[in-house]
Structure 1
Amino acid sequence: MIRLRLLPWLAVLGTLACDPAANRVNKPDVTPISQPGSDWELVWQDEFDGPAGTPPSADRWVHDVGGHGWGNEQLEFDTARPENVSVDGTGNLVITARKESYQGRSYTSARINTSGRFEQAYGRFEARIQLPVGRGIWPAFWLLGSNIGEVGWPECGEIDILEYRGQLPALIRGSLHGPGYSGGDNLGLEHAVSGGKLYEGFHIYAVEWDPNRIRWMLDGVTFFEATPARLPAGTRWVYDHPHFIILNVAVGGGFVGPPDSTTVFPQQMKVDYVRVYSRAP
């Protein structure tokens, strides 16, 4: 996500009971799944199994609830209601943006994160997602530095694995936000997809994060790479500490603009799974 989030995140983080052990790995019981390669070892996952209409696991996810715009001029009120975020009974998390009057806002949606539940530095962060569509719809899969409460944003670092404008359904963006390269001046790249629209099916979005390199991938193909050498002169690489995971669907905001008469509601982002790997020893 683009632009400042400091004040909302300080309020959210102040309500969380952070476990220092979570700064590395919470390893759940897992069933064997296909690995992305022999270089990787699965360390965390959510497959979003469960009865339809139930919330995502409270052992893995925290809800961000509020309608203050998140520093991005977003128009929705994010809730923890099953109408906005729940599993569908077939193995998907569904985040639903709705056009409705709620808490002084004209739209609702949801935003969940793993702060205090799971945070990791380095590795492969991957999700299989079917995106929504429509002007003013802004889904994202991203990472935020777990030290945001101490150093603020963008000093904490932010890794946007996937951002997407609903009105441009064949274009995605991967980016970094850090001190001296944040908001609209982030370090990133937009990638055009040939042969179809991203909302028409599921795709795998991933980053592979090493100490001095981050690579962005769509369906196993690298489309962007960032290193300290690519940063603007005089700025710092701050991707050396644990980050937590965020999934959300915004409505409106500076990156996408507001919905218009062509935007159909409700809109849903479906997430088949989120998986995190570490380099195999």
Structure 2
Amino acid sequence: MSSPTRAGLVAAGFLATLSGCSPEPEAPSGAPVEESGYGQTQQGERSYDPGAGWNLTWQDDFTGTSLNTGAWTVLTSNWDPVTNNCNFGTGELEYPRAQNVTVGNGKLIITGERTGDNPTDPRCPGNHRSFYSGRLHTKGKVEGRYGKIVASIKIPPGYGMWPAFWTLGSNMSSAGWPAAGEIDILEWHSNEPTWMKSALHWHNGGQADWGTGASRGVDLSQDFHTYEVEWNANSIVFRLDRDFVSTATFGHNESEFQQPHYLILNLAMGGNWYGHPSPNAIDLPWGARKTMEVEWVRWYQPGGSQSLGLTNAGFEQGLTGWNTWGTTSAAISETYNGGHSGSYHLTHWTSGAPFESWTYQTKSGLQAGTYKLRAWFRKGGTFDFARFQVKTCGSCAPAITNLGTYGGYTLLETPAISVPANGYLEFGLHSKAPTHNGSSFIHMDDVELVRL
């Protein structure tokens, strides 16, 4: 998505190679809206089976009414602070902003709309943009190496629409592009609407590119589809709706694809892939809006990780095996609103009083290796902080995942942490709630410690 030669890559023919709908989001006050008719298909959520041998290690199902900021960062200008460039290196015509990234009805919605405000970042003088849109990423929050990365997405139709689901190497800020590596899982061009375009970019004495794709013979903008990459140490293959496999598999040993990457979702307009069209040529009339809708994003890993048994991982025996520091009355095992499995779950909550609680379990005598913690969460209300964390001693800095808001149970995991031979881990839920907010609650269930 950041490639300045993307147009040439696809045009040269390197085509070898992955649901339900919500209403359009409301327009800003006073803005005229033209009915576009997009996103009106009625169906259940697009199902997906990764196949045997795959474990779900992270997902976002976009429940609730706000974005999980513990996983995602929303860009708010046409200057990218990670890649340090204007218009994302591709001359795109949009200006990302927070109000064009919303969550509702079980979907992430990225909205594109034309504007006469001519916005630009002060660091991009003269680069005034003609559209508002959205761009978000997981850098520093959800990063990983290898696995199966999949999303259920409905893309908007029309000339100039450039929706994308992709990754960049986590060392992007230090290595730069393309030396950090880029995996483009989905890109869509209106000239070939049946194709999921996919690509790879890396450094090999200069910019190196490889392109592929998959088609199922229908206009992909008319419905939700699943877009997937399966990535390991030796090969990368892309799939559309699981069964439509890319026309080629990439065999590799490049260092750019042997390191962690982070995820990006965005809706671009125009740019170099379309030959730098004028804003007037883009199929997005004044007052109309087009949306890129995402039902879910999932990251699977092969089933080779080792799960270590925990005491009372589902809280079916009260808080047996768990300790609480701080406001002990705020940490309870209960059945309210149901467990992820079984009847019970851990809750951090009090009826209006402020609290801080750290509910944790310990493991000692561990084998040397890399570990992470997983659990299922529901969360609402306001907290000073809410952290799912693991650390190697009581006073050590923890590896933290900051919780967002989750209307339904959502699987989260901590960053990986290294443990020496005969090592120790202390892990669990640490939260602090402000004064008099009885609506602030966290439910945690089915905790799992895994050795990678």
TM bracket (short chain): 0.7 to 0.9
Residue 61 of structure 1 aligns to which amino acid in structure 2?
A: W
Q: Tell me the residue number matched to 1:43.
A: 57
Q: Please, which of 47, 58, 69 is the counterpart of residue 58 of structure 1?
A: 69
Q: Which runs of 4+ in 1 moved over 4 A?
A: 259-262
Q: Please, which of 170, 184, 189 is the counterpart of residue 194 of structure 2?
A: 170
**Residue pair 1:2, 1:182 contacting (<8 A) in 2 also:** no
**1:166 Cα deviation (Å)?**
3.1
Work out whether 1:112 is the aligned partner of 2:136. Answer: yes
Work out whether 1:137 is the aligned partner of 2:157. Answer: no
Q: Tell me the residue number matched to 1:95.
A: 110
Return the structure number with greater relative CO, CA threshold 8 A, min gap 6: 1
**Residue pair 2:153, 2:224 contacting (<8 A) in 1 also:** yes
1:255 counterpart SS class: helix
Which whole-Å deviations, capped at 9, do the CAs of 1:205-231 have from their partners, x for residues lacking one?
0001110101100011221311128xx
Q: 2: distance between equivalents of 1:127 and 1:181?
A: 33
Q: Tell me the residue number matched to 2:233.
A: 211
2:98 counterpart SS class: coil
Please give the TM-score of this superposition, normalised by the length of structure 1. Answer: 0.79
1:70 counterpart SS class: helix
2:88 counterpart SS class: coil
Work out whether 1:269 is the aligned partner of 2:292. Answer: yes
Q: 2: distance between equivalents of 1:98 and 1:58?
A: 24
Work out whether 1:187 is the aligned partner of 2:205. Answer: no
Superposition pairs for residues 21-40 of structure 1, below 5 Å? 35-40=49-54
**1:34 Cα deviation (Å)?**
6.0
**Identity level (%):** 36
Which whole-Å deviations, capped at 9, do the CAs of 1:36-74 have from their partners, x for residues lacking one?
1221000110000113xx3x1111100122223111001
Work out whether 1:159 is the aligned partner of 2:183. Answer: yes
**Residue pair 1:35, 1:42 contacting (<8 A) in 2 also:** no
**Residue pair 1:135, 1:260 contacting (<8 A) in 2 also:** no
Q: 1: distance between equivalents of 2:56 and 2:95?
A: 34
Q: Tell me the residue number matched to 2:3.
A: 3
Closer/same/farther in 2, CA of residues 105 and 98 from structure 1, 3 Å limit: same
1:238 counterpart SS class: helix
Q: Please, which of 88, 91, 100 is the counterpart of residue 73 of structure 1?
A: 91
Residue 151 of structure 2 aligns to which amino acid in structure 1?
A: A
Q: Single out whichever of 250-259 and 153-162 deviates more from structure 2.
A: 250-259
Q: Single out whichever of 253-262 and 93-102 deviates more from structure 2.
A: 253-262
Consecutive unaligned residues of structure 1, counting only runs of 5 or more, are 5-32, 230-235
1:173 counterpart SS class: strand
Closer/same/farther in 2, CA of residues 167 and 96 from structure 1, 3 Å limit: farther
**1:252 Cα deviation (Å)?**
1.1
Structure with greater strand share of residues? 2
Residue 136 of structure 1 aligns to which amino acid in structure 2?
A: G
Consecutive unaligned residues of structure 2, counting only runs of 5 or more, are 5-46, 79-85, 120-127, 305-452
Q: Single out whichever of 34-43 and 138-147 deviates more from structure 2.
A: 34-43
Please give the TM-score of this superposition, normalised by the length of structure 2. Answer: 0.50
